[in-house]
Amino acid sequence: MKLRNGLPLLGGFLGALAAGSTWADYRWNFPDPATPLAADTLHVHNLFMLIITVIFVAVFAIMAYSMFVHRKSRGHEPATFTGPRSRVQWLWALVPFAILLFIDYIIFGIPAYHAVLTDADSRNGAQMVVKVTGLQWKWQYEYPEEGIKFVSAMSTPREQINNQAPKGENYLLEVDNPLVIPVGKKIRFITTSTDVIHSWWVPAFGVKRDAVPGFLREFWVRVDRPGVYRGQCAELCGKDHAFMPVVVHAVPEAEYLQWVGAQKTAMTAQADSAGREWTQAELMEKGKAVYEANCASCHQPGGEGIPGAFPALAGNKMMKAPALDPAGRLVRGGHLDRVMNGAPNTAMTAYKDVLNDAEIAAVVTYERNALGNKTGDLVQPAQVKALRGSKT
Amino acid sequence: MSHDTPHDALPTGMKRWLYTTNHKDIGTMYLVFALIMLLTGGAMILAVRAELFQPGLQLMQPDLFNQLITLHGLVMVFGAAMPAATGLANWMLPMMLGAPDMALPRLNNWSFWILPPAALLLVTPFILGLAGVGTGAVDTGWTMYAPLSIQTGWGMDFAIFSVHMLGASSILASINVIVTILNMRAPGMTLMKMPMFAWGFLMTATLLIIIMPVLAGGVTMVLMDRHFGTHFFNAAGGGDPVLWEHIFWFMGHPEVYVLLLPIAGAIPHVLSAFARKPIYGYKAQVYSLWAITFLSVVVWAHHMFTSGMSVGGQLYFMYSTMLISLPLAVLFFCWIATLWRGAMSFEAPMLFALGFVTLFGWGGLTGLVLADAAADAQYHNAYFLVAHFHYALYPTTVMGVMAAVYFWLPKWTGHMYNERLAKVHFWVAFVGMNLTFLPQFFVGLAGMPRRIPDYALQFAEFNMLSSVGSLILGVSHLIFIYVVIQCVRGGAKAESRAWEGANGLEWTLSSPPPYHSFDVQPVVR
């Protein structure tokens, strides 16, 4: 634990208590801070835990003393005073409050003032921007300067959650596509959401910021040492709130640039593939993967849905109606419209900004030709691409 | 007016309870209702703790889990804690003030009888959901944050109407309390001679009249957004989801003090009785209650530091929140000074009162840490917060109420309760409470968010401890029920002044007291 001064710390004290027990590597305090903000918070926290523990022990030691000495069974005669009577007693009565005010507004208040200002300063000297979008129940990360955008969803298999398989080391705190950021750079994060309020939290960074639909919120992070940092959504956001982890890989600058390069190459390949004609088999294969990653948690792996909460896709009316009209335009309220633009006031997210053309085409094709449906329709990535930018 | 034959005229059976306008009958109904709700909310959270005993989903899926935690919160706050305090007020205020009954007896009947249908409305969708009808109860957490509360199923609509009714009930009861306290005091009992309990409840009633209409308006806006196409909380239509948070916490934060103040009023009576020494700093305590009441309505947004607030907003809500520590410290100082150099004995009411002072002390101190707007990011919505507010609320709304109930039970029933069992009740509750909530501080620091049905492996041991603790805590309430039933049925005869050190008008009445407390007004001093 790296600390800024030599104060005896409650965390360390409790850690020492725990050492040697079977819980030796158990956490009794915040994770080791990875950012200046987290270090600051840990410092304030330790100091304050110490102060309130001292207050608590001191106050209740007085009470315990009184309970022991001033008891009827020891023949103690009750006094009759109901308030301070002399100048000395008034002094005794007022001193605790002076101390309390000093703790509140000086010991506590001044560092808190600076911390609030530091915390809020996400723009000055920011070297890059990452946009975080919460959606039920995954995170989308976007690097506007690089044009990179991807979705990060939990990768823990359902079998582990349902106790049908042994749980892995990072159970529930692992994702398919982690956020990758360079160490040592001040990064301005912008949060928003497409559906309900989420909250992006990585304890080692000392930040937690709500993702509010329709609004932008911000915070900043400067990670001091490389590593893998884990956290999760901290605002109840519906059914799978518990299964919305955050994983951040903080890597050295060179490695980060390499990663950015690889992402760009992959995106170019994807963009190219969107332009060509896909076969049904290709679409179905990709569609199955997209479905399982994005749709199955509500509509269920077999497409049967959850009655009353999430509609079944198997035999859904929408599947029988065409996805596109003969001129290639969206059918309002139709299948492709719902996938791309979502359904208002429901958990159905607008996927047009979440999935790319090929993924949308594939998943729609898959849903229309699997899960008990057999329309024979194919939707091509090029058709989806053509719809983008057109009026919805 | 004559009360020659009150008992002959009483209807019997169900009608007696349905039609009663008597403060004691209504007080009893409030207390029984609160106890039923305590057990309901407790059973719900025991199911939750059972699910959290181990990582993985064993007993329930997340949708059911979310319903249980939501109902637990709403049932405990609106069903158990508030009616328990109102029950105490109904029983005690006329007896403590020297009045025959509450000022508005019919209103009193009405304010109680709104409650059971409201509670039924809240839990009906849950039961229907279990039976496979509909989507289940409200599952948004008791904070009902929009837009989640707009997206969710029709359990939310039931919750909205339930909140309307609970709000109406609280407002009616509050009006009754205020009118009673201001008009029905015995001659000579000036406001500054009034019992502390009356002061505590007067402040609570005032707060309720300020805040409940705001919540009722807020949930109506949610209802409008859900069904009538308005966009109060929908950014796409020009609304703002954070507006709901402001409305909710404008009610939600004072609500904490609504729960605290009646207990802060009752506890000095208990401490003073068992220390055999007058209340210390009466005036200071009254002024502190005023200060808390005022401050509580101007600090709400400290619940929302992570929602993204301006620097000015953060600083204001941080510093104003810290200010509450001052009047609270005055109360603690006076409570302990009341004990100081007394002649204490430790019967069950005293044990519960001391348990309240100690545990609520820790709840309050941890709240001071949470006020730091910057550090709050780490505590907020983590289990640290859950542990903090349970250290504030359990000692208050359960232990504090238990202290008051044991204190006045001999007066109400005319019998002394089983002291030995009551002490066992206290110690089981004390151990269970700490074992449940102490580990939650640590698991919160380690990074476990609240309201999750399943968690990462590093949180396992603390959760297991907490679940074991909750079971012990649950059992403690069964002991309580046994003691109360035993005491109602019989036991050593209680004297008018059931406790050696007890003071106040209620102890001048027989135990049990006459049906109409004071037919002739007593004169104070």
With CB atoms and an 8 Å threshold, state whether A112 touches B148: no
- A77 is a domain residue: no
Given a contact cutoff of 8 angstroms between Cβ atoms, the answer to whether A371 and A314 are in contact is: yes
Evaluate if residue A147 carries a pLDDT over 60.
yes
Chain A: residue nearest B458 by CA? Answer: A26
* Distance from C-alpha of B188 to C-alpha of B509, rounded to nearest angstrom: 18
DSSP for residue A169 = T
pLDDT in 10s for each residue of chain B, 525 residues: 444 445 556 778 888 899 999 999 999 999 999 999 999 999 999 999 999 999 999 999 999 999 999 999 999 999 999 999 999 999 999 999 999 999 999 999 999 999 999 999 999 999 999 998 888 999 999 999 999 999 999 999 999 999 999 999 999 999 999 999 999 999 999 999 999 999 999 999 999 999 999 999 999 999 999 999 999 999 888 999 999 999 999 999 999 999 999 999 999 999 999 999 999 999 999 999 999 999 999 999 999 999 999 999 999 999 999 999 999 999 999 999 999 999 999 999 999 999 999 999 999 999 999 999 989 999 999 999 999 999 999 999 999 999 999 999 999 999 999 999 999 999 999 999 999 999 999 999 999 999 999 999 999 999 999 999 999 999 999 999 999 999 999 889 999 999 999 999 999 999 899 988 888 889 887
Residue A371 shares a structural domain with residue A313: yes
Name all contacts of A344-352 with Cβ < 8 Å and 24+ positions apart: A344/B236, A345/B147, A345/B150, A345/B151, A345/B226, A345/B234, A346/B151, A347/A136, A347/A195, A347/A238, A347/A239, A347/A298, A347/A310, A347/B151, A349/A135, A349/A136, A349/A194, A349/A195, A350/A194, A351/A294, A352/A388
CA distance B209 to B459: 42
* Listed residues A228, A248, A269: the one ending a domain: A269
Among A236, A252, A269, identify where a domain stops.
Answer: A269
Contact B151 A196 (CB under 8 A): yes
Same domain membership, residue A102 and residue A203: no
Residue A348 in any domain: the answer is: yes
Amino acid A17: pLDDT:
45
Q: Are residues A260 and A337 in the same domain?
A: no
**∠ CA(B398), CA(B404), CA(B406), 5° rounding?**
95
Instruction: Tell me whether residues B329 and A97 touch, CB distance under 8 A.
Output: yes
Question: What was the pLDDT predicted at B1?
Answer: 41
- Tell me which residue in B147, B340, B374 faces A115 most closely, judged by beta carbons: B374
CATH number, domain containing residue B360 = 1.20.210.10
Q: A294: domain range?
A: 276-387
Q: Does residue A109 form part of some domain?
A: yes
Q: Which of B140, B235, B373 sits opposite A214 (nearest CB)?
A: B235
Considering only CB atoms, A237 lies closest to which of B148, B226, B306, namely: B148
Q: Taking the CB of residue A41, how many other CB atoms lie within 10 A of it?
A: 26
DSSP B461: H
Residue B514 lies in a domain: no
Question: How many structural domains is chain A composed of?
Answer: 3
Q: Identify whether residues A142 and A114 lie together within a single domain.
A: no
Q: What is the pLDDT of residue A9?
A: 42
pTM of the full structure: 0.89
Rounded to a whole number, what is the distance in angstroms from the first to the last CA of chain B? Answer: 26
Residues of B in contact with A112 (CB under 8 A): 318, 372-375
- Across the interface, do B62 and A239 touch by the CB < 8 Å criterion? yes
Query: Each residue of A284-320: b (16+ CB within 10 Å) or e?
Result: bebbbebbebbbebbbbeebbbeeebbbbbbebebbe
Among the partner-chain residues B150, B306, B375, the one whose CB lies closest to the CB of A41 is B375
Q: Which amino acid is at A323?
A: A
> How many degrees, rounded to 5, is the angle at CA A329 between CA A326 and CA A331?
90
Nearest residue of B to residue A229 by CA position? Answer: B447
User: Which of A49, A97, A106, A197 is the best residue to mutate to test the B interface, defined by the most B CB atoms within 10 Å of its own CB?
Assistant: A197
Q: Quick one: closest CA in B to A218, which residue?
A: B308
DSSP H stretches of helix in A70-200? 87-102, 109-120, 158-161
Given a contact cutoff of 8 angstroms between Cβ atoms, the answer to whether A193 and A135 are in contact is yes
Kindly state whether residues A284 and A264 are assigned to the same domain. Answer: no
Tell me which chain B residues have a C-beta less than 8 angstroms from the C-beta of A56: 361-362, 365
Check A83 against B340: CB less than 8 A apart: no
DSSP-derived pairing of the beta strands A128-135 and A187-193: parallel
Q: Which of A120-124, A265-269, B354-358 is the least confident region?
A: A265-269
So what's the ipTM on this one? 0.91
In chain B, how many domains are there? 1
Quick check: is A320 in a domain? yes
Residue A54: burial class (beta carbons within 10 Å; 0-12, 13-18, 19+): exposed
CA of B121 vs chain A CAs: smallest distance (Å): 19
- The total of other beta-carbon atoms located within 10 Å of residue B471's CB is 15
Give the number of residues written for chain B: 525
The residue that leads in pLDDT, A297 or A152, is A152
The amino acid at A222:
R
**CA–CA min distance A86, chain B (Å):** 14
The residue in chain A having the minimum alpha-carbon distance to the alpha carbon of residue B328 is A97
In chain A, what residues touch B361 (CB-CB under 8 Å)?
A: 56, 59-60
Per-residue model confidence as pLDDT tens digits over A315-358: 888 887 887 888 778 888 888 888 888 887 777 888 888 888 88
Beta bridge partners of B382: B449
Write the pLDDT tens digit of every residue in A160-175. Answer: 999 999 999 999 999 9
Provide the token pair at B83: 């009616």
Q: How far apart (Å, rounded) are the C-alpha atoms in residues A283 and A288? A: 8
B residues 312-351 closer than 8 Å to A (CB): 314-315, 318-319, 322-323, 325-326, 329-330, 332-333, 336-337, 339-346
- Please tell me the predicted confidence (pLDDT) of residue B53: 95
Distance in angstroms (rounded) separating the CA atoms of residues A195 and A298: 15
CB proximity under 8 Å: B 61-90 to A: 62-63, 66
Mean pLDDT of chain A: 86
Given this model, what pLDDT does residue A5 score?
A: 41
Residues A206 and A320 in one domain: no
Same domain, A295 and A378: yes
Backbone angles phi, psi at A278, to 5 degrees: -100, 150
* pLDDT value for A350: 84
Domain range for B413 is: 24-508
CATH number of the CATH domain containing A222: 2.60.40.420
| C-beta separation of B263 from B197 below 8 A | no
Q: Do B148 and A170 touch (CB under 8 A)?
A: no
Same domain, yes or no, for A235 and A350?
A: no
How far apart, in whole angstroms, are the C-alpha atoms of residue A160 and residue A172?
Answer: 9
CB contact under 8 A, B374 and A40: yes
Q: Output Rg (C-alpha) for chain A, integer angstroms.
A: 28
Best mutation target among B341, B359, B360, B384 (most A Cβ atoms within 10 Å) is: B341
User: Is residue B15 in a domain?
Assistant: no
Dump pLDDT digits (tens) for A5-23: 434 444 444 444 444 444 4
Which of A70, A201, A345 lies closest to B150 in CB terms?
A345
Both A140 and A257 in one domain: the answer is: yes
SS3 B317: helix
Last residue of a domain, one of A269, A287, A312: A269
Asked if A350 and A223 sit in the same domain, the reply is: no
The pLDDT value recorded for residue A8 is 41
Kindly determine whether residue B308 and residue A112, on different chains, have CB atoms separated by under 8 Å.
no
Answer yes or no: do B449 and A52 touch at CB < 8 A.
Answer: no
Paired sense of beta strands A138-143 and A128-135, if any: antiparallel
CA distance A52 to B368: 9
Both A303 and A345 in a single domain? yes
The minimal CB distance from A242 to the residues B341, B357, B452 is found for B452
Q: Residue A188: beta bridge partners?
A: A129, A220
pLDDT value for B9: 66
Is A157 among the domain residues?
Answer: yes
CB B65, CB B461: distance < 8 Å: no
